[in-house]
Chain A
Amino acid sequence: MIRPGLARVVGTSMEPTLHEGDLLLVLWGASARVGSLAIVRLPHDEHGAPRPTSIKRVTGVDPSDPQRWWVERDNPSAGVDSWLVGSLPHSAVLARVLLRIPCRRVPFT
């Protein structure tokens, strides 16, 4: 089921598009669109520990597997993306980001 929701950005890997504390209107359950931002579940790290639910830009389909999305960070100096963890299955896309809500940037608590 597709439903709207709110998400708060933590971290700097989507700068300069998004900044820490930005509030986003998202559509949970909506499929990814190339060029749009998406909330995704990344694979576990090399120690088997889960990574936090993340926000990335969907830059295209995996060139070697059209069933999978290639996601990237906007800030190449911070964070991880498909260049490090590979492409993601469609099921790893949790929400599509619609817009940033203009409001005070308050840290997530």
Chain B
Amino acid sequence: MALVSSWGRLGHWEHEVLALTDREQAGGQISLRRPGLAYGLGRSYGDVCLNPGGWLWRTAALDRFISFDPNTGILVCEAGVLLRDIQRLFIPRSWMLPVTPGTLLVTVGGAIANDVHGKNHHVRGTFGEYVRRLTLVRTDGEIIECGPDLKADWFAATVGGLGLTGLILTAELQLHPTTGPWIDCETIPYYSLSDFFDLSSASEAGWEYTMSWFDCLRGDSGRGIFFRGNPAEAGTRPEPKTRERAVPLTPPCSLVNRLTLRLFNDLYFNVNKRRNRRGLVHYQPFFYPLDHLQEWNRIYGPRGFFQYQSVVPPEHSREAVQAMLGEISSSGEGSFLAVLKSFGDRPPAGMLSFPRAGVTLALDFPNRGEGTLKLFQRLDAIVAQAGGRLYPAKDARMPPALFRQGYPRLGEFSSYRDPGISSALARRLMES
């Protein structure tokens, strides 16, 4: 048995761990070790990647490429391949992932199972939209090849299916042509939520990437920094040198508190305010600002932290986001990285895909026990009333009723589940 935690470090739980190393043998291995759950890098914040008391099938060593066509940009690989390796290898060859989350330390399987999104949802949608085929191995030995045009129901259940439909073994991805590693980026300070909405709608037509940092301590009168970017034309300039650093140890208490938060937010806003201009930025700091700081999750101390990410539909987004920010600022809790972003109106790739038209708000909260959970209840009420939903990949505590309300296709999804697979999240939200 091994103690395993997820990125939020809310606890460590006993698991039996099996490292999968060969795709031809993986099916046989998992059928003997169930109930289990695929575990990639464990970057999910909550309990979607945990299966306390059961098996975890580590997929990190299933990281082989299978084929790549430089003419079409079609890449076939095992599901444990890291998004980092795809970007590193293929950007120099003028191909990149069309959609990535804010970290590259995610496996292809994890990106599919959580149907992740990035700063370009309004243009390109989610990761799952670029999966042409995937191979799913069930714990009864059945192998299911599926894609948007082949067993489309299995595909829709597996994309965003939280790893519960089977083990995703391989995937065929459509990469996107790129001119190089540089982003033409604009940084714009703003001083109210209403400015955010104006900037967001004004930017969507002409900018591929948009996102915004928001000072969560200031409520609706607050301020933020809006980032927008487009791929830059090819140019020959040297790659910036990035130094990997790590948070060396877990401090005895969270370093994120009212005082540090206020200081950080003032500093972050003022530094970026002065940057109010356009310039070229390398894709790594633009997309993945925290990837060079290993184990940054330690700053929240030994009790760990929650991320609360919601999306609310456009017709209610102004009031709902305003109400949530009001609750957060009056609670005095919140995170260094508060992110606001508008999602486009695109049909979801999966039955349980998180993104939908509207505005998404993501914040990290140090785990302060009861007080933090009470704040979440107030936020839940706002999300529920606005007809929104929470992101299971980030969640550790939403009530089942909110999950059912936010994901109306849950009943349909259930029939695709693999009975040999379970997770803490499934037991919490689906009662099995």
Do these two chains interact?
A: no
